[in-house]
Structures are given as structure tokens and as C-alpha cells.
Amino acid sequence: MLLSIAWKNVWRNKLRSLIVILSISLGLLGGLFYLAFANGMVQHQIDATIKTQISNIQLHNPKYRLNNEVKYTIDSPDSIIKKIEEINGVRAATSRIKSTAMVSSAITGAGITINGINPVKEKNVTTLYKKIVYGTYLIPGKKYQIFIGQKLADKLNVKVKSKIVIAALDMSGNITYGAFKIVGIFKTESTNFDLSNVFVLKNDLRKLIGFPSEQTTEIAVLLNNNDQTDLIANKIKKIFNRAISEKKLDVETWVEIQPALKLINEMFIEYSMIFLIIILVALSFGIVNTMLMVIMERVRELGMLMAIGMSKLKIFLMIMLETIFLSITGGAAGLFLSWVAITVTHKTGIDLSAVSEGLNALGYSSFVHPMLGFTYYILIGSLVIVTAIMASILPARKALKLNPAEAVRQNV
């Protein structure tokens, strides 16, 4: 009965109730959409970094990661890759030879990381071959070809079929030079990656720096599901426990390789949640103000209810329920509107190409797909209920302070 009375009381002044519900729903829509937008932007950055740059897991010689010196290698990479690919959940694995070098054209030069790859196997691990803007991907068997980023091509003022010179240290520490012909230019979401990485055939890099044929500097592992990264990394560590204990091998996840990515993700979520909580607190003040107005308008009515024997507890609960119903109705509407907006924009995407240069410089895509897990809707729904309960206490206490004898004489 009390529930029915409280619900009817909410709609005694339809316009005022609708305004409060609308303000709550729009506040939640703005907060949740911002949260989904930030989450979508960061998740896309993580996904793009994994698929175009570092993969889920990497294996190195422990000393290699200190200064990226090419002399610290992994022995028998093919047998290691074979064992890794037998693990359930691993999509593919490949070996790379990586070395720091200088690249120069007739105009200028730049410091880069030169990646010696097997283009056929690399396609199974990274999606760089899908990022081509000019030319083609590396062609197996064709000697001294190079695949570079658009940002680097712009800096060197070169194009497809141009020749550039690579200067690198060989295995003995001597400087060696090689001329390469550009076959393709790629563009990823990260201009820093495009500026600092070039790709050549593994055999060409071996010849250039005198690298041993049965060794490599890096093994990259791509998984079917990023959520299994830690689980599969632990399996790899168990398989190669002896090599790891002998300091011949090191297994790292993408979080360990680029910890800033995870920190940025957590920071965005934390800031977004704080922003959303601020919105809920601001809305709670509006709810409290509205309910205090309701109390002032119903002083005589509440006084009469007390005078005819309605207990203070029931009065308290009735006002609380009215406030909670008002808040939850607005919250439910806000969650529904947010779900619709996020679902639609996730499918269509939001084009930010007008500011793409700045976003790409930070490693973000200029095309964002907002996304939000079901857990967040549950969390926000819970916060709305807590906010409603907190906001209902002050108006309910105000009602309890009324004196029935004085209240029934009011003409408000």
C-alpha cells in the first residue's frame, strides 16, 4: 500500500517529476557516453598496438631488452615457435630480427628500428599489410626491398620506388651500409611508430649485419583472446622454464612491454568514473531541492496524516520511496538512452578525422567506436540507487520535524 501511495504521489505534479527524470536521464546519458567514448578510444589503441606493433606476448634474450643490442639473441627460434603454436589459444607466432639503425635519403636522415621479418608469417601476427597507403607489402624472395611508414616517408621526402640507405652496426660492432628500394608505405594509428620503424626481409637484414641463421632477437605471439594473455604467458614460462632460469629467455606480455598502455586505460576509466560520480552528486542536489519543495507544498497534508495516526516511520518511508522512485525512473531512462546511443555509435563509429593528426601523434585512432561492458551498467545502476537513498534522507527527516497541530493550520 505504501509503495502504491508513494508512486502515485510522484505523479501528482507530472511536469515537475518529468523535468527531474529528464535531468537525471540526460546527466547519466552524458556521463555514460563519455565513459564509453574514453573506453572505446583506449581499447582501440590497445587493440591496434597489439595487432600492428607488439602482439600479445614477446620473447627475448633477457639482456636484449636492456639496450636492444642485436648481439643478444634467442637460439633455435623455429623449435620455440613450434612449441608455442601448439598451445591452445595461440593464433600464430613469428620471429623477427630487430636492430637500431640510421636511414637516410638525399634530403635528410633519421634514427629508426629496422625489423627483419618473414612477410608470410608476419601476416598471421600483425595487420601491417592492411595499413598500406602506397605500393605493396614485402614480396618474398625479392631482394633489398623496404616497407616504411608514411610519416618517415614524408620526413625523408621519398616515395615508392625511391632508394634509401640503411646504416647499422653488424655483429662485430662495425658500421655497415645497405641500399634498399621502397616497395610500400604504411600508415597506422601511431605516427611515432610510423616514423621510427621500417621492415625488410629477414635474410636481407641477416646479410647486412652478419646475423647468424639459426638465431633471432624477438619472437612475437598473437592470441585469439587478449583476456588469456597472462594465462598463456604462464604456460609458455612453464614450457621454457629451464631456459628462463638459465637467463637465456625472457617472456613478457604487452602490459610489461608497454606498461603505459594499461596505465592510460586505468586512468581514463578512473577519471570517467569520477566525472560520472560528480554528475550524480550534482543531480542529487536537484533531487533534494525538488523533494524539499514537495514537503513544503504538502505540509498540511502530512500534518493531517500524522494527526489521524500515521506513524512517523511510515511518513519517513513514504517520502523516501517517492524520492527513490523518482531517481530510479530517471536512472532507468538514462541507462536505456545510454545503451541505445552507445550501441548505435559503436556500430557506426565516430569520425574525428578533423583532429586526426593530433590524435595519431598520441597513438589514438581518429575513428572511435564507443563501448561499455555490461558490468558498468550494473555499477552505474547501483550508484543511482545509492544516490537516491542518500538524497531521500534529508527530505524525509524534514517531514518528520513537522508539528501536526501547526501543520494542519497551514494553508500552503
Assess whether pLDDT exceeds 60 at residue 279.
yes
* CB-facing half-sphere around the CA of 20: CA atoms within 13 A: 26
Assess whether pLDDT exceeds 60 at residue 412.
no
Rounded Cα distance between 345 and 328, Å, is: 25
Residues, the chain: 412
Rounded Cα distance between 190 and 194, Å, is: 6
CA end-to-end span of the chain: 26
> How much is the pLDDT for 378?
87
> How much is the pLDDT for 74?
92
Q: Which amino acid is at 3?
A: L
> How much is the pLDDT for 65?
82
Cβ–Cβ under 8 Å, residues 395 and 10:
no
**What grid cell was written down for 69?**
643490442
Average pLDDT of the residues in 2-14: 76
Encode pLDDT of 318-365 as tens digits: 878 888 888 888 889 999 999 999 999 999 888 777 776 776 666 676
**What grid cell was written down for 221?**
605471439
Which of the residue ranges 1-5, 85-89, 252-256, 399-403 would you say has the lowest mean pLDDT?
399-403
β-pair type (90-104, 250-253): unpaired
> How much is the pLDDT for 206?
93
Average pLDDT of the residues in 296-325: 74
Assess whether pLDDT exceeds 70 at residue 299.
no
All residues at 6 or more sequence positions from 24 whose CB lies less than 8 Å from its CB, including other chains: 283, 287, 327, 330, 331, 333, 334, 384
> How much is the pLDDT for 268?
78
All residues at 6 or more sequence positions from 368 whose CB lies less than 8 Å from its CB, including other chains: 37, 40, 41, 44, 349, 350, 352
What's this model's pTM, rounded to 2 decimal places? Answer: 0.78
Cβ–Cβ under 8 Å, residues 116 and 167:
no
Cβ–Cβ under 8 Å, residues 166 and 58:
no
